[in-house]
Structure 1
Amino acid sequence: MWDVRFAEQEYAYGTQPNTFLQQQIAQLKQGKLLTLAEGEGRNAVFLAKQGFKVVAVDASVEGIKKAKHLAAINSVEIEFIHADLTTFDLGENRWDSVVSIFSPLAETERHHLHQKVVKSLKPNGTFLMEAYTPEQIKFATGGGNDVSTMLTKEQAKRELKGLDFKLLQEIERSVIEGKFHTGNASVLQVIAKKAI
């Protein structure tokens, strides 16, 4: 599905970064940063422009091709890794920050990934995430129709056990990010830190 979506010339989710990420950039710890399910590169490019050493992971070959092109035209260096997040090794105490923007994994896979995120962060490292909540189904403005890929505050608390939540909220906001995320949406926003 993702290779088909990203094979189109147009950037499916645009070339501008996620709004929540832009607003909360100061919360991220400078240094080595991992982006999960990066897609076509919009968030990775933005982060690289802010001075982060970005490693971007995605399962789509076509998405990575477009992300590399976007990085090149913005004159930033990003390490791109083609990998399935369900099997990708995030390492331990490796990242200063990890970012996940609308990474649609089914609940069991997502829970496993989030446990790996906690282990992979360095002490005082930051995890920033925006995800759709199950309430998103009523909006139909992005995120598909599989509720198992959506997340509540309670699920986030369980899945990210070991992190200290600085921000954990479910809100409705306008999401205008390309043709597949356009309109009012129900989202979960997370900023969490690993203890020193």
Structure 2
Amino acid sequence: MSDSAAPPSGWEARYATPDYLFGTEPAAFLADHAHLLPPGATALAVADGEGRNSVFMAGKGLAVTALEYAPTAIAKAQRLAAAREVTVEFVEADVLTDDWGGPYDLIAAIFIQFAGPEGRARLFEKMRTALAPGGLLLLHGYTPEQVGRGTGGPPYPENMYTEAMLAEAFAGWEILENRAHERDIREGKGHAGPSALIDFVARKPAAS
């Protein structure tokens, strides 16, 4: 999956191209936060698409599980992992309904704005459940200001994140970063141009 609101039958069509829709390099957000990726940690990549983020984390020495709905995307992700000589456990799953496993030391949820408010609430709850106590959440996406730009993301304002929304959703966590900003990103043809983004990094409370 990615950040589009395509119906389930549309995911295969989106990824059935010889190129990588969002490129093969990690999201700029993940590369910027590479210092938060400790070797040996267990990590989950949510709706990982063609594997650029999970493969990057595996290259940093993490034990990575990647969930993705579209078999075509998974096949491309497997090819990317093989080319980079890393190991990722790719799992075909509907992230809205299937179990995520875990607990994980780190969860990366990057451009997963295919879900509206109800689906987003389910995704956030799954993040809270699947992350180990003391674990780190790396969440990245678009703000409502992105709608209409044509540089990436779905055309639905209700799917987007705001700083207030994320602070409320993860109240009680240690919020290390919650920042809306503008950036020109070039991540394949799927993300290309000036973008209204939000970076959110938070640590789940340790077990009492």
TM-score > 0.5, shorter chain as reference: yes
Report deviation, 1:33.
Answer: 0.1
CA contact (8 A) 1:29 1:126 kept: no
| Cα distance between partner residues in 2 of 1:158 and 1:60 | 31
Report deviation, 1:16.
Answer: 0.6
For 2:158, which of 137, 148, 153 is the aligned residue? 148
Instruction: Give CA deviations for 1:115-155 in whole Å, capped at 9, x if unaligned.
Output: 12112211210000111111001422100202222111111
Aligned to 2:110: 101
Aligned to 2:58: 48
Gaps of 5+ in 1: none
SS in 1 for 2:147: helix
Aligned-residue identity in percent: 34
| Cα distance between partner residues in 2 of 1:2 and 1:158 | 31
SS in 2 for 1:112: helix
| Aligned AA (2:31) | Q
| Aligned AA (1:60) | A
Compute the TM-score of the two structures, normalised by the length of structure 2: 0.89
| Cα distance between partner residues in 2 of 1:59 and 1:163 | 29
| Aligned AA (1:130) | H
| Aligned AA (1:71) | A
Report deviation, 1:91.
Answer: 4.2
For 2:21, which of 12, 24, 33 is the aligned residue? 12
Gaps of 5+ in 2: 1-9
Kindly indicate whether residue 74 of structure 2 is the aligned counterpart of residue 64 of structure 1.
yes
Aligned to 1:131: 141
RMSD of aligned C-alpha atoms?
1.3
| Aligned AA (1:11) | Y
CA contact (8 A) 1:118 1:162 kept: no
SS in 1 for 2:54: helix
| Aligned AA (2:167) | K
Kindly indicate whether residue 124 of structure 2 is the aligned counterpart of residue 114 of structure 1.
yes
